[in-house]
Structure 1
Amino acid sequence: MRAVIVREPGAPESMSLADIPLPVPGPGEVLVRVQAAGVNRPDLMQRKGLYPPPPGASPLLGLEIAGAVVAKGPDAPEWPAVGTPVCALANGGGYAEYCAVPAAQCLPWPNGFDAIRAAALPETFFTVWSNLVMTAHVAAGERVLIHGGAGGIGTAAIQTVRALGAVPYVTVGSAEKAALCLKLGAEAAIDYREEDFVARVDELTGRRGVDVVLDVIGGPYLDRNLRCLAPGGRLVIIALQGGAKAQEVGVGRILTRHLTVAGTTLRPRDGAYKARVAEGLRAALWPLLSDGTIAPLIHATFPLAEVVEAHKLMESGSHSGKIVLDLR
């Protein structure tokens, strides 16, 4: 089969296509003929040698796919059957014509979806659900600040927060991205290049603060995120795009305002946890995807042979929504 390989850690040009053997589905797994695969920031980190796959995972890039089941491994459950269109959170190996994935991490295509739109769902919505619902326990009426509001995670988070009956605020890097987020349902979009988001959150919330912050920046935002939180607030850090080091953090604020700080990564989680995320998504959000209440935002698609250009686009930060590889 054709697959993207990384000759050595480095720039996008370190990736190329190669013919490699088909994966064999293991116990509880299914083999999917991949029709589309999402591009995500963990793929960029792995390509650079900064995010090694967990033990037992495919060394190939790619964490979300859509396609049809073509074979099943030992002890795989009845669903999904051979021939079933699925999208799936992969543990690796998505940038290839075939990918073996745990059956419990598969979900059906929502009504009316094609492979491109279905491939834009798993990594994004698994991440959003596991962090906003299973970690931060966002409740109706709460206020949520989402950093990187126009990205794949951000656009999904805006819609998920609204679906939960909560109020989303976002930070963005341009007026165009702000307009997009407001259209998707953000209550306010703060251009971090033009405004101090801490002061703006203070103003928007009547000096109370937000209940939850979903952060992809990391160290440079740590103290500022804490200053955005209301009493009892929760900060969930899911990426370190700005770096891992923080300075002059007001730790006393955590104590006096009863704050919770959590850091999570999804890929190393065990299969049982990911299966619970899939169950929650299928029950709560998949009906909303099927009826059009929420939808993935696709910025661009590339054929598998143009994976280098797809990574360059993501690294540029100029995209809004998802970047998807088309293998059809």
Structure 2
Amino acid sequence: MNMALERIKEVSDYLTDGKYPEGYNRTQKLTLKRYCQKFTLKDGQLLYGDRKVVRSKDEARSLFIEYHASPYRGHTGMVKTRKALCSRFYWVGMSVDIDKWVAECDGCQGRTSSSAAATAAAAAGGQPLKAKKVTRRKKVTETMVAVCYDYPGGPEKLYVGKVPRPQPKAREIFIKVHATALNRADLLQRKGLYPAPPGESQTLGLEAAGIIAALGVGVRGQWFLGQQVMALLSGGGYAEFVSVPEELVMPIPPHLTIIQSAAIPEAWLTAFQLIHLVAKVQPGEMVLVHAGASGVGTAAIQLLRLTQAIPLATAGTAEKLEMTKSIGAAAAYNYKTENFAERVNDFTSGRGADVILDCVGGSCWQKNVQCLAMDGRWVLYGAMGGKSVEGDLLGKLLAKRGQLLCSLLRSRTLQYKAELVRAFSEKALPHFEASMTLRPVIDCVFSLQNIAEAHRHMEDNKNMGKIVIEVMKGDCLQVDTSAFPPSTSTTTTPATPADFNTPSYMNLLLNQQF
């Protein structure tokens, strides 16, 4: 590795974790720190000013092909391309042979620069020929099947149509989607209440499972074509193909089908984040999980058992209450027919819940505060019950010395999501394998053509667990959901403790700088 690349690696490492290379003295540390002031780390990408840092010739050549101005030839095209590249990228430790790449690019597309044509003619002993006028072919945009809606509204607005197919960018994995799953955010986006983040796909869908169809330039992981994977998305899951940063992709455990895996990314990563990064749940704590029969709720209950915490749940029907108990809830309460705050206080001998995971919001704030333990943490990650609050919320919360913590996942940075996926893959994903300590709870499977009916099913609060959408049929996708109905999908005994409680792991989560 040359000196320039070695220094850039030191900069990247320092900006990532704030650590200096081993053996550095005080002078070397100050020099590196001053040098790092010229760089920033944004969404996992190292920038020099506002220019992206490029470290390899392969990546540089790929960027050249992307930015090469196709209407131009010879010297003109070379100059314009060089200007475009140098204004956008910062080259490290390499001499960029743009002249050579221009010739290769023009040649591979059946074009000859004017200077090359003149040289060839002179060598043949004739006069230089005038360059023939090249007729540019109109670029054909490839399309794919996806769920569309022209205007915000109800489920009837959804239909299956054609949209432009995405192209994998650098360090992205191109996935042929076999299955996706519904989330409450999809319903809000369809209604026009929760738009996709800027620059992200406007197609619905926050998770997907399928097979790798292509790898973008610079992908570093041990991925291969045809590998079965699942991914966390910011949008685009209700489609035939999706391109995802490799940091947000996870291999599918061997004992799970693609249908089951489609129910994991959004719900389980949300639950994992709420428990370990936001609430920082400790073993033995009482945790009240609202909407315990939802996708996030069923995931949270199982993860809490894995962490040796004690999950309590609320739900709206007797069937849902029984299901939450079957997957590990120590107690479950019907929020429609009983005062869950009184029941929680009775169960905990007046102590209350140390943590409340709340996706309901306004309609139950008084009962939440009533059953919140002293110094408890109330984690708000949704507002299905309304956003407005009337009454002495702050006074009552202050009397409990309570913390109100709010969290969303979709709007987080790529770097945060990447760290979350890595921690989940290391500490939770292995428990989906042979022992099946953790298992996604699936309510039902709809075809892509029946997407409107799937949305109605969720809006009517009929589901117990995740609603999966089968985008592409195939033998590898078939799963008998009766083999794991919600009421018997996992063991009722406490799960075997994982590494969540070891000091090294908790310190990693608590000290992580996102």
Note the C-alpha offset of 1:238: 0.8
Identity of aligned residues (%): 40
1:36-55 map, 5 Å? 36-55=179-198
Higher strand share: 1
Residues 300 and 324 of structure 1 are in contact (CA less than 8 Å); yes or no, is this contact kept in structure 2?
A: yes
Instruction: Tell me the residue number matched to 2:166.
Output: 23
CA distance in 2, matches of 1:105, 1:236: 24
Note the C-alpha offset of 1:49: 0.4
Instruction: Tell me the residue number matched to 1:238.
Output: 381
Mean Cα deviation higher: 271-280 or 221-230: 221-230
Mean Cα deviation higher: 264-273 or 241-250: 241-250
Instruction: Tell me the residue number matched to 2:503.
Output: none
TM-score normalised according to structure 1 size: 0.97
1:217-296 map, 5 Å? 217-290=360-433, 291-296=435-440
Residues 91 and 101 of structure 1 are in contact (CA less than 8 Å); yes or no, is this contact kept in structure 2?
A: no
Instruction: Tell me the residue number matched to 1:196.
Output: 339
Residues 211 and 233 of structure 1 are in contact (CA less than 8 Å); yes or no, is this contact kept in structure 2?
A: yes
CA distance in 2, matches of 1:250, 1:237: 14
* Structure 1, gaps ≥5 residues long: none
What is the SS of the residue equivalent to 1:295? coil
Residues 69 and 82 of structure 1 are in contact (CA less than 8 Å); yes or no, is this contact kept in structure 2?
A: yes
* Structure 2, gaps ≥5 residues long: 1-143, 474-514
Instruction: Tell me the residue number matched to 2:456.
Output: 312
Runs of 4+ more than 4 Å apart: none
Q: Which amino acid aligns with 1:4?
A: V
1:103-182 map, 5 Å? 103-182=246-325
Instruction: Tell me the residue number matched to 1:65.
Output: 208
Note the C-alpha offset of 1:294: 1.3
Note the C-alpha offset of 1:40: 0.7
Relative contact order, CA 8 A, sep 6+: which one is greater?
1
CA distance in 1, matches of 2:362, 2:244: 33
Deviations 1:113-153 (A, max 9, x none): 11100000000011101111100001110010000011111
Note the C-alpha offset of 1:178: 0.7
CA distance in 1, matches of 2:166, 2:350: 55
Deviations 1:130-187 (A, max 9, x none): 1111000011100100000111111111101101100000001111111111111100
Instruction: Tell me the residue number matched to 1:83.
Output: 226
What is the SS of the residue equivalent to 1:18? strand
Q: Which amino acid aligns with 2:442?
A: I
1:4 pairs, out of 135, 144, 147, with 147
CA distance in 1, matches of 2:172, 2:352: 44
Note the C-alpha offset of 1:102: 1.4
What is the SS of the residue equivalent to 1:254? helix
Instruction: Tell me the residue number matched to 2:445.
Output: 301
Note the C-alpha offset of 1:42: 0.4
Greater radius of gyration (CA): 2
Equivalent pairs counted in the alignment come to 328
Note the C-alpha offset of 1:258: 2.2
Note the C-alpha offset of 1:87: 0.5
Mean Cα deviation higher: 273-282 or 160-169: 273-282
CA distance in 1, matches of 2:199, 2:224: 24
Higher helix share: 2
CA distance in 2, matches of 1:91, 1:246: 29
Deviations 1:72-118 (A, max 9, x none): 22332233332221110011000001011111111111221111000
Structure 1 pair 256/4, CA: closer, same or farther in 2 (3 Å)?
same
CA distance in 2, matches of 1:288, 1:324: 21
TM-score normalised according to structure 2 size: 0.63
Q: Which amino acid aligns with 1:187?
A: A
